[in-house]
Amino acid sequence: MNPPSPAIVAQNAVRSLPRWIMLLLCAAYVLAGFVGREPWRDVDMAAFGYMQTLAHGEASWTLPLLDGLRPEAPGLLQYWLGAVALKLLPAGMPADLVVRLPFILLLGLALLCTWQAVFSLARTPGAQPVAFAFGGEASPTDYARALADGGLLALLACLGLAQLAHETSHTLVQLSAVCAVFFAAAAMAWQPKLAAVAALLGLLAMALGGAPAMAMLLGAGAITVALSASQPRLPHRYSWAAWWLLCMAIAALSAWMLGQWGYRLINPWQQGKDWQSTVRMLMWFSWPAWLLAVWALWRWRLQLRQPARHPHLAWPLWLWAVALFCTIFTLEGDRALILSLPAVAALAAFALPTFKRSLGALIDWLTLFFFTISAITIWVVWISVQTGFPAKPAENVQRLAVGFEPSFALFPFCVAVVATIAWLLLVTWRTRRHRAAIWKSLAVPAGGTVLGWVLLMTLWLPMLDYARSYAPHVAAVAHWVPRDVQCVSTLGFSQAQTAAFRFHTNWHLERGLPRATTAGCQWLVATPAAWSAIDTAPAAQWELVQAVARPTDRKDHLLVLRQRP
């Protein structure tokens, strides 16, 4: 016997969010953070460096190298995407913007697949609301569309999505691939051809994006979903199971042939995982969607006893569990946790039809105050940096970012003003009396998250670029090297540092200390750790010109040395 559905939804509560509003919200979120910024330190800059080497034919596409260094990040697909963009698009375009264009499409694809996945799951029989005695309950299609809107809003509201989803790295490749697999398993009965293509491309992208083992786990979950479906709902379930097995085999074989197969599991107790920071990350990363997801699991707890009949709960829960396992038992940390966000958002959507009005109002007011105060803080700091009043925020910025010079740009300022006005209109709409819509409790959290991200990527972008990019440090190092110098040796550089100096200077970089018997570069830039490991005799041939600290971290130095005559 099927347990009664906890969802009680009338037809007037399933109005869909206007498409133009949803598209503008997604476009603002996607473009902010990709357009106008410098490549940021570590993963983002390192990936950019490998993309350039592939595009210029300096390394093999199956074994990317940057001055002889192999990538630290897993996967190949992210480098291929950026390199292909560099080769196809005009050379006059900024290279750092060109490599981001495929990733802009990937993030948009992730949002679209999440919406489609929730829409498909909400159409399953076990997800339907209670039928009223005299009619008036929500129609299945309108109900599914409203929940899909809520799921997308929940994904946008997750605080941990913003930064990692705007990097040109394996993280976004894996996220979009997970969303594709999530959609494929959810839509087998509704869009079979598109779901079959998404299954193949999603698993293959996961395998080539550095997560082949996770691809196998998700594929196994999808097979279970297919085999558990009833005959009327999924007539060709055995064919679907065979297709998923074939996709898994293709993905695994591709990863093995390209040297990307690996588990990379750790014992978190033996390898000293910081459990306190892990718990904090779990608390804030998917906030506030995880609260709604937990509420959904509680309200639908009777249906969880029959997971085969309720894939709208079982499939997202499996994806969430796999991502949590990878978060705890791998070194990826937040880069594994971000893969859980589509599933968390889907479960959060199924909490919406079970909400009481008081709980929805509490979420609204808490998020309204939080994001309004955050927006005011961003504006106050920006005004202080621009005008010097109030003085304290500007002093804090100068203390944290020594040497930062503020600048005013009209277009980002106008974008920030428009975003703030849109937020005020949203708050006004939400506090007025209006017809009920089940997604309304997530409108303020999603709008607030997008507002905060847009303000950071417009008003605070110069400060963030100064703090998070290599450009200020490279410029400070270049200040001590004569302008006519073309060749510089590097010692102890990471992949990201090598890519940064290749991008921000015109120097020809040679890795390692030049031999005394050869005519090498006359200038050397080294990390203190690498220089201290040099033997006395070779070190005596060089004189220290300057130790250059990174402006935002005085403990991070690079040594500029010149060869003695």
pLDDT band at 536 (very low <50, low <70, confident <90, very high): confident
**What is the model's pLDDT at position 8?**
86
Proportion of the chain in helix, strand, coil states, percent, rounded to 5: 60, 10, 30
Whether residue 434 has pLDDT greater than 90: no
Q: Which of 1-15, 238-252, 324-338, 398-412 has the lowest mean pLDDT?
A: 1-15
What pLDDT is recorded for position 16? 82
Mean pLDDT computed over 350-366:
85
Confidence of residue 170 (pLDDT cuts 50, 70, 90): very high
Would you say 83 and 102 are in contact if contact means Cβ atoms under 8 Å apart? Answer: no
Residue 471 has pLDDT above 70, yes or no: yes
Cα gap 266→270, rounded to integer Å: 8
Q: Residue 90: how many CB atoms within 10 A of its CB?
A: 6
Q: Is the pLDDT of residue 360 over 50?
A: yes
Cα distances from 9 to residues 262, 306, 451, in angstroms, run: 46, 22, 30
CA 67/CA 191 separation, integer angstroms: 47
Nearest CA-CA partner of 120 in 146, 148, 142, 94: 148
Over the stretch 261-293, which tens digit does the pLDDT of each residue have? 877 778 787 776 778 888 899 999 999 999 999
Res 431: pLDDT: 80
pLDDT at 537 over 90: no
> Residue 269's pLDDT is what?
77
DSSP structure class, residue 491: E
The three-class DSSP label of residue 514 is: coil
- Pick the more confident residue, 350 or 429: 350
SS3 state of residue 424 = helix
Euclidean distance between CA atoms 13 and 7, whole angstroms: 12
State percent of the chain over pLDDT 70: 98
Q: What is the pLDDT of residues 331-351, one digit of tens each?
A: 888 899 999 999 999 999 999
Predicted confidence (pLDDT) at residue 188 exceeds the cutoff of 80: yes
Q: To the nearest whole number, what is the mean pLDDT of the chain?
A: 93
**66 pLDDT higher than 70:** yes
Tell me the C-alpha distance between 447 and 450, whole Å. 5
pLDDT at 272: 63
Q: What is the mean predicted confidence (pLDDT) over 118-141?
A: 90
Q: Would you tell me the crossing angle of helices 443-456 and 357-387 to the nearest 10 degrees?
A: 10
pLDDT bin (cut points 50, 70, 90) of residue 539 is confident
User: Could you tell me the two tokens for 219?
Assistant: 């594929």
What is the average per-residue pLDDT within 379-397?
96
Residue 67 has pLDDT above 60, yes or no: yes
Predicted confidence at residue 517, as pLDDT, reads: 46
- In Å, the largest CA–CA distance within the chain is 96
pLDDT at 494: 95
Residue at 181: amino acid letter: V
For the chain, give every domain's residue range.
37-99, 103-354, 358-468, 471-563
**Residue 520 confidence (pLDDT) above 80:** no
pTM: 0.96
Closest-CA residue to 316 (of 204, 188, 214, 222) = 222
Residue 518 has pLDDT above 70, yes or no: no
Percent of the chain whose predicted confidence (pLDDT) is above 90: 80
- 106-120, 310-324, 402-416, 423-437, range with the lowest pLDDT: 423-437
User: Degrees (nearest 5) of the Cα angle 283, 294, 25?
Assistant: 70
Using DSSP bridges, classify how beta strands 487-491 and 553-563 pair: parallel, antiparallel or unpaired.
unpaired
Q: 211-225, 433-447, 486-500: which range is least confident on average?
A: 433-447
Edge-to-edge strand order for the sheet containing 508-511? 508-511, 487-491, 523-526, 553-563, 542-550
pLDDT level of residue 436 (50, 70, 90 thresholds)? confident
Band of residue 256 on the pLDDT scale cut at 50, 70, 90 = very high
Phi then psi dihedrals of residue 525, to 5 deg: -120, 125
At 240, which amino acid appears?
A: W
Give the integer Cα–Cα distance in Å for 431 and 139.
Answer: 28
pLDDT tens for residues 78-105? Answer: 999 999 999 999 988 999 999 999 999 9
Give the pLDDT score at 379: 98
